[in-house]
């Protein structure tokens, strides 16, 4: 009689052994450190390797998330605490060591300011089980802790690094390259995917030389790809942050010794002040430093220096309605503010031929209503950067464009439709992920499950083969090119539309602009 050894969830990583748990057919490891705590003198510094351990680490709960203020309606997960020591990741695997399953590494969104890998909607079990893939979700530094560039304040005594949160992501991807085989994953078949700020991180990572070889395909959902800024603006943001923080006779000492709560409070105020002072810009985001990030990402796509990996990218039909509902400062909706934003951009870029403003306004009924303004800011913030990328990247690598249009009856009744982030439950297969979920109160759950099945099928096929094929009978989704400009329209029934965004391009023109 042959005895079968019981399955074990203890895995040896390069830094030490970790013990996971089992969730049905999927093994799960949570809270694995991929970098040392970015605290003390390492605050605002590039990540370094964690200190190795010898005792088995029980990876049975999510690690701390980056410090952030609470946001109504957004759960970071049950019993999750906040701490600057937040550089950890989680793994869901349906495989065993020796398998070589495709790997999908998720970067969460949240305006580079909020969010966490522990959010219930990002639970990787369904995606891992349904797709037979290894799913990894990561935490990274947020807000002022990761996305304010203090390098202009460096002295002989102390150096502040640039793009530390982007370097966190690269450190996590390097961890995946070295360790994921022990969890049943294939380090030669890694897809990085993310939404909103996470989508922006994806489109930025594709233009960072240090990310070369760390992933092999990319999915960017609702990427604010042009929300990347130059060092002059970064220095201004750093000075503004110090002004808000106060007590900075010695800026280096103040930044290194301020409490987490002090930095978080100043981060909150900066989050609101910057887009109020300069509409259309974010307080936090990647910075063109000439080294880690050599150029504005859209420029890199256009000149062919972005990583030439297959890309699946798209936006949601009603992106801006969520920001209107939340009264968020991130997207300007007042027509006069929008006109002022254009005037400021044109003044800052006198060498760029800015699209004719009258022609743009006419495409949105002259900005006569808040609805017109919402459409314009949606396109300016999300759809146009996406179109610029596909027009450019498709010349160098296979590229697929989609638009997510599906909205449940409840979301239509609330007049938010297929707004920002509503595709996420369908991608992860977690479409009813909480007892207070209101999305399906007026029905639509059965249709939603079918939408999720189709999206997962496309996303998973792309992760496995670099081609987002559907099931037999589903419309063929061809790669984007300047002849057909195919776009997958995701709704109750999927369709493929040629040149869906033709009117948008006609209004704005095809001039690529890197907004600083």
Q: What is the DSSP string of 423-444?
A: THHHHHT-TT-STT--TTTTS-
| Domains contained in the chain, CATH given | 10-508 (3.40.50.1820)
Choice among 117, 118, 151, 196 that is catalytic: 196
For the question of residue 353 being annotated catalytic, the response is no
Alpha helical stretches, state H, 260-356: 260-277, 297-303, 321-325, 335-348
Alpha helical stretches, state H, 88-161: 125-131, 143-147
- Nearest CA to 34 out of 166, 189, 138 is that of 138
| Backbone phi, psi, residue 138, to 5° | -125, 150
Long-range contacts from 366-375, C-beta under 8 angstroms, 24+ separation = 367/335, 367/338, 367/339, 368/335, 370/324, 370/333, 372/335, 373/332, 373/333, 373/334, 373/335, 373/338, 374/320, 374/321, 374/324, 374/331, 374/333, 375/320
CA distance 95 to 246: 52
Choice among 84, 195, 221, 319 that is catalytic: 319
Residues with Cβ within 8 Å of 472's Cβ and at least 6 positions away in sequence, in order, are none
State the residue for tokens 């599906």. Answer: 406
pLDDT at residue 410, as a whole number: 92
Tokens coding 166: 């982007």
| Sites in the chain below the pLDDT cut of 50 | 1-7, 512-516
Which helix (H) or strand (E) segment holds residue 451: the answer is helix 445-465
pTM above 0.75, yes or no: yes
Among left, alpha and beta (phi > 0; psi -120 to 50; other), residue 12 is: beta
Tokens coding 26: 């999927």
Strands 287-288 and 229-230: parallel
CA distance 52 to 56: 11
CA distance 235 to 115: 25
For the question of residue 391 being annotated catalytic, the response is no
Which helix (H) or strand (E) segment holds residue 241: the answer is helix 231-245
The string of pLDDT tens digits covering residues 145-186 is 999 999 999 998 899 999 999 999 999 999 999 999 999 999
Burial (CB < 10 A; 0-12, 13-18, 19+), residue 227, is buried
Which helix (H) or strand (E) segment holds residue 460: the answer is helix 445-465
The size of the chain, in residues, is 516
For the question of residue 196 being annotated catalytic, the response is yes
Among left, alpha and beta (phi > 0; psi -120 to 50; other), residue 429 is: left
Choice among 108, 216, 393, 420 that is catalytic: 420
């Amino acid at each position: 009689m042959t005895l079968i050894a019981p399955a074990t969830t203890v895995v040896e990583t390069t830094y030490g052994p970790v013990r996971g748990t089992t969730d049905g057919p999927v093994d799960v490891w949570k809270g694995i450190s991929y970098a040392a705590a970015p605290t003390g003198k390492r605050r605002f510094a590039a990540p370094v390797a964690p200190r190795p351990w010898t005792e088995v680490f029980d990876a049975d709960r999510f690690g701390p998330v980056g410090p952030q203020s609470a946001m109504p309606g957004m759960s970071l997960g049950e019993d999750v605490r906040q701490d600057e020591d937040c550089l950890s990741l989680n793994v869901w695997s349906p495989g065993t060591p020796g398998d070589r399953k495709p790997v999908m590494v998720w970067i969460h969104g949240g305006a580079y300011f909020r969010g966490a890998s522990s959010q219930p909607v990002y639970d990787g079990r369904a995606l891992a089980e349904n797709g037979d893939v290894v799913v990894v979700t990561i935490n990274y530094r947020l807000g002022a802790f990761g996305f304010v560039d203090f390098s202009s304040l460096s002295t002989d005594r102390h150096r502040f690094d640039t793009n530390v949160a982007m370097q966190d992501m690269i450190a996590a991807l390097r961890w995946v390259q070295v360790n994921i085989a022990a969890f049943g994953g294939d380090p030669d078949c890694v897809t990085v995917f993310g939404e909103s700020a996470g989508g922006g991180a994806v489109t930025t990572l594709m233009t960072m030389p240090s990310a070369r070889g760390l992933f092999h395909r990319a999915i960017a959902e609702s990427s604010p790809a042009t929300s990347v800024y130059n060092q002059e603006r970064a220095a201004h943001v750093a000075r503004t942050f110090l002004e808000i923080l106060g007590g900075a006779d010695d800026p280096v000492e103040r930044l290194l010794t301020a409490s987490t709560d002090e930095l978080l409070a100043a981060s909150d105020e900066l989050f609101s002040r910057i887009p109020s002072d300069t509409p259309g810009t974010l307080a936090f985001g990647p910075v063109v430093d000439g080294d880690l990030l050599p150029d504005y990402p859209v420029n890199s796509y256009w000149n062919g220096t972005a990583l030439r990996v297959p890309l699946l990218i798209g936006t949601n039909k009603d992106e801006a309605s969520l920001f209107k509902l939340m009264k968020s400062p991130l997207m300007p909706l007042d027509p006069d503010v929008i006109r002022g934003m254009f005037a400021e951009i044109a003044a800052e870029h006198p060498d760029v031929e800015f699209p004719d403003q009258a022609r743009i306004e006419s495409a949105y009924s002259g900005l006569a209503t808040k609805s017109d303004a919402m459409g314009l800011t949606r396109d300016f913030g999300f759809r146009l950067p996406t179109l610029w990328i596909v027009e450019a990247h498709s010349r160098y690598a296979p590229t697929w464009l989609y638009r997510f249009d599906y909205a449940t009856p409840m979301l239509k009744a609330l007049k938010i439709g297929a707004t920002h982030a509503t595709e996420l439950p369908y991608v992860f297969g977690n479409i009813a992920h909480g007892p207070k979920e209101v999305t399906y109160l007026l029905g639509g759950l059965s249709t939603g499950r079918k939408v999720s099945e189709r999206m997962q099928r496309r996303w998973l096929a792309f992760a496995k083969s670099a081609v987002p094929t559907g099931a037999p009978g589903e419309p063929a989704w061809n790669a984007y090119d300047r002849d057909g400009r195919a776009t997958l329209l995701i709704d109750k029934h999927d369709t493929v539309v040629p040149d869906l965004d033709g009117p948008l391009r006609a209004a704005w023109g095809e001039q690529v602009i890197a907004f600083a």
